[in-house]
Chains A and B, each alone.
Chain A
Amino acid sequence: MSRVQSVDSVALLPAYLAAGTAVLALLVDLVLARRTATIVAAATGALATLVAAVAVGAGAERRTFCVGADCSYVFGGRAALVAGLVALLALGVLALAGPLLRDGVTPVGEFCFLLACSMTGGVVLGAAGDLITLIVAVEALTLPLYILVGLRRGSLASAEAAVTFFVVSVVATTLTLLGAALLYAVTGSLHLERLGAILADRSDLLDLPLTTVAVTLVLAGLAFKVAAVPFHAWAPATYDGAPLPVAAYLSTASKLGGVVALLAVVQHALPLSVAGPVLALVAALTMTVGNLVALRQRRTVRLLAWSSVAQAGYILAPLGALALADVDARSAAYAAALAYAVFFVLLELAAFAGVVALRPAGADGGRLDDLRGAARRHPWVGAGLAFALIGLAGLPPGLAGLFAKVTVVRSLLGGDAAWLALLVALNAVIGLAYYLRFAALLYTPADSALAGSAPAGDAPAGAIRPARVVVVALAVATAIAVIVGFAPQLVLDLAGS
């Protein structure tokens, strides 16, 4: 066997472009030192990455960095979907950051560079074929975010958020690495598919306590990344302290990354008899706790953060049925989890875009009451935000969210996990309670209450002009959500491929 690995550069093209974007943003910032030029460079790079992901993904599956039959980099339909989506989300977050970058305090070059670095991690992640590539990709996705979270200079909350996020994330990575090392000790392999084959062939390995510990550690580490209960406590504080666009990135691209990593290890590598029940429990806890705590939130971003914890529960729910299900139901469950994640990140990005548009430039999310009556002052932006919230609640007219819930419930019932389906359904009711409160608040006349307690120091609410680039991002996200709402088969096909 040749020791020299062949490298298929076409398969790597999206990753090259993403990494190139980071370098380009840095160079443009150094050489030209013009804000607009840097942003345009980063946006162009993200767009090129998106196009490349779509173009490469349209062809057959490409494998590279192979040792025998095991490959470390597998760029197929799902990898293309993840890469394209991450690039799209990075583009969206760049648009959301428009007002923030214009204020002159935030370093533009660094912001674009770090965002592009993180995007590179996300692009590679979907294609990762072994545990090391996977963990490195997840880290590449996460590492730049430590700095981005702390980017609000002079804000104590921002610094606290960054430290919390950093500590939690490092612990999580350590757990995953330890788990991966133990798995290697048990099986002698790191390639996901080989791992799965070994564990399936040799059932005696499953009886080893070490295997159970290894699986649990890998899952726990990745559960941190998706902010699943009981590894969720960092999320609300981090989201709330981070600049809004970064919070949007954390709850979309970063969460998508965690989900994809979990999917990859569960689908290919881990024994389902161990992973299935653990994930079922985690999913049940995650959605219930997330929804119940979200009910009591008074700050906008904290509400979105807790709700996105709950949404992570819905995403993981189909995986909970894995231990029982047959092969067909299993592939349906993977597709359902990914499809839900796709629907969710679209709506979540739209929701954050709406909040960014309705808040003063560079402000944090503020309290929910700060958005009271916002939809009356800005009907279109308000309607976009309300649409996204209703979609997250999973009701018409937010058909994308409705079909997301339907997909999850269907896969659970197809996999004989009726109790989890029922739990998802009941959680949707709890979820509506706070999404509806938020959405209704946007339409409540501002003068009806709180006339005396308007926060001092904030710009008067009527004076806020939604930044054009943010409104465009909101419009695009909403348009995509409407399209996939009427044609959910598009997403289901992509997720199932």
Chain B
Amino acid sequence: MSFGEFLLVAVLALPALGALAVAAIPRDLPARVAGTVAAGLTLVAALALAVDRSGSWTAYAVTPPAVRPWHALDLPWVPGLELRFHLGVDGISWPLVVLTALLTLLCCGYTCWRVPPGGSGRALVALLLVVEVGILGTFLALDLVLFFLFFEIVLLPMYAIIVGWGGDGTDPAAVAARRRAARKFALYTLFGSVLLLVGVYVVVAAAGTADIVALTGGNGLARGTQLAAFTLLAVAFAVKSPLWPLHSWLPDAHTQAPTVGSVLLAGVLLKMGTYGLIRVAVGVAPEGARWAAPVLGVLAVAAILIGSLVCLAQTELKRLIAYSSVGHMGFVLLGIATLTATGIQAALIGNVAHGIITGLLFFLAGAIKDRTHTGALRELSGLRETAPRLSGLLAFAAVASLGLPGLAGFWGEAFAVVAAVEVGGALWITLAVLAAFGGALTAAYLLRLLRQVTHGTATPAVAELKPGLAGAEVAAWTPLVLLALAVGLAPTLVLGVAEAPVTALVEVLR
């Protein structure tokens, strides 16, 4: 087993073993620390994947395939179901792998310091690690069936996190609301993933293989098969992303989930949808993608506009941030829908930026709610007076989120619009204009949020706040702040590794 193969296995095995260790350690705090250590080791392994990224594909391929993993591991598992344990990492998946490992580490570390009321901290850390296994596996899988398998793993642990530790308070109404939100999340997401299952086997039955490397480019798939497969896969990923009008699970789930749950949900869980769209749906059924691109583009822009308009009317902090995800993911989907190198690169960097910034926003919203016990924007005015650091960070995150040049959010949104203009034609120009207008609306609602929360006279809930931040909070937020700056100033951090695989993918789309 080569070093790269070892790393691929380690990235999945470390959190899995960590979860087992957490479950096996009876004492609460040591277990949480052990889980955090496992998450830390996972991050190290994930970072190490980028070392020695020669890629072994040149050795045996005359015409290089469109997916050229840096490292790959291919073992048979269930031949009767065309399922192989085939993992690989390339420039499209690696940034997301690192982002997942980082956010999970931050969430586990945060849980060492503060456990949301409801259940034991051990169990929460164990579930976070299981969720991490599912997400990382989804990003690493190079076998369609394996991809589906990992896609499904995430579902129940996330449900348990929302039900067990989410919401506010233990009164029956709050408990019922949290249950409802979690059940909606589970059923909606399962609806998406069963469509994914059918879509996967539409492809597998037609092509006789589930190997993503071999399938990318739509080799040998009839047009009808591609259209059917793309429709199924696109709807499946649209639920996860989520794309308007399939988004309605998201605001409830994000609002009800505990802070760490929201961070993972918004930060990386949604990316499983957009990543799947790029790697699986577009890659495997390019003809279907070309056919459906205008619809996808229109829906994406509708998501941007509707998400922004709904945000303008929100009165609750977490709900506003949750809805803002709908708009931001709209930009990502618009980028994908253009099917150009610029658009897909914009989608990738938009994915990463949204993960960083929204992760930070949810951390901050959680901190504010923990302190003031309210999320209503009305009751939060004057935060700058009593908690200047918290309010400053919130301002930073909001400004990053609205896409100020120089911060991470800028690149994805700007270049999604640029890509739409590049495609040309009346439809795409219109979409670009509307998306740009949506960008302005994004700025409007985030500035409204800032005005309401940070300015004005302090309300009773805010007046008693202490200005200080806990060490754990600083530790959890600093990496995200720095990354938002770094990706904003040097987008090549993401785009540098993604350029070659995106170019290769766009080649086969033609």
Contact = CB atoms under 8 A, between A and B. Distances in A.
Interface stretch (A152-160, A181-189, A303-311, A400-408): A400-408
A462 to B, nearest CB: 20
B32 to A, nearest CB: 19
Contacts of A449: 172
Given A396-B149, A409-B201, A418-B202, A428 B194 contact: yes
A335 B194 CA distance: 22
Interface string A409-420: 110011000100
Interface in B146-190: 148-149, 152-153, 155-156, 159, 163-164, 170, 172, 175, 179, 183, 186-187, 190
Given A449-B172, A488-B80, A492-B81, A440 B163 contact: yes
Contacts of B79: 489
Interface stretch (A140-148, A247-255, A429-437): A429-437
B194 A402 contact: no
Main secondary structure of the interface of B (DSSP, over half): helix
Given A395-B190, A402-B152, A433 B183 contact: yes
Given A436-B186, A448-B175, A410 B81 contact: yes
A270 B170 CA distance: 60
A396 B80 contact: no
A55 interface: no
Contacts of B148: 406
Contacts, number: 87
Contacts of A492: 78, 80-81
B81 A405 contact: no
A432 B190 contact: yes
A395 B195 contact: no
Given A410-B204, A429-B190, A395 B156 contact: yes
B440 interface: no
B156 A425 contact: no
B257 to A, nearest CB: 16
B145 interface: yes
Nearest to B164: A443
A436 B205 contact: no
A496 interface: yes
A403 B149 CA distance: 9
B395 interface: no
A426 to B, nearest CB: 7
A422 interface: yes
Contacts of B152: 395-396, 402
B198 interface: yes
A438 to B, nearest CB: 12
Nearest to A439: B156
A403 B146 CA distance: 11
A443 B163 CA distance: 10
B186 A425 contact: no
B155 A425 contact: no
A421 interface: yes
A418 B227 CA distance: 14
A449 B183 CA distance: 19
A337 to B, nearest CB: 14
A448 to B, nearest CB: 7
Contact of B195 (A403, A425, A437, A489): A425
B197 interface: yes
A103 interface: no
A493 interface: yes
Contacts of B437: none
A409 B232 CA distance: 14
B78 to A, nearest CB: 5
A390 interface: yes
Nearest to B196: A425
A320 to B, nearest CB: 15
Contacts of A396: 134, 149, 152-153, 155-156
A422 B79 CA distance: 23
B6 interface: no
Contacts of B195: 425
B80 A496 contact: yes
B3 interface: no
A426 B190 CA distance: 9
Contact of B198 (A403, A409, A436, A448): A409
Nearest to A335: B80
A429 B152 CA distance: 12
A426 B188 CA distance: 11
Contacts of B187: 429, 432-433
Interface string A47-72: 00000000000000000000000000
Given A406-B145, A429-B190, A413 B205 contact: yes
3 closest cross-chain pairs (CB), A and B: A425-B194, A492-B80, A413-B201
21 contacts: A395-B152, A395-B190, A396-B149, A396-B152, A396-B156, A397-B156, A403-B78, A407-B80, A409-B197, A409-B201, A410-B205, A414-B201, A414-B205, A425-B195, A426-B191, A432-B187, A437-B183, A440-B179, A448-B170, A492-B81, A496-B80
Interface of B: 77-82, 134, 145, 148-149, 152-153, 155-156, 159, 163-164, 170, 172, 175, 179, 183, 186-187, 190-191, 194-195, 197-198, 201-202, 204-205, 228
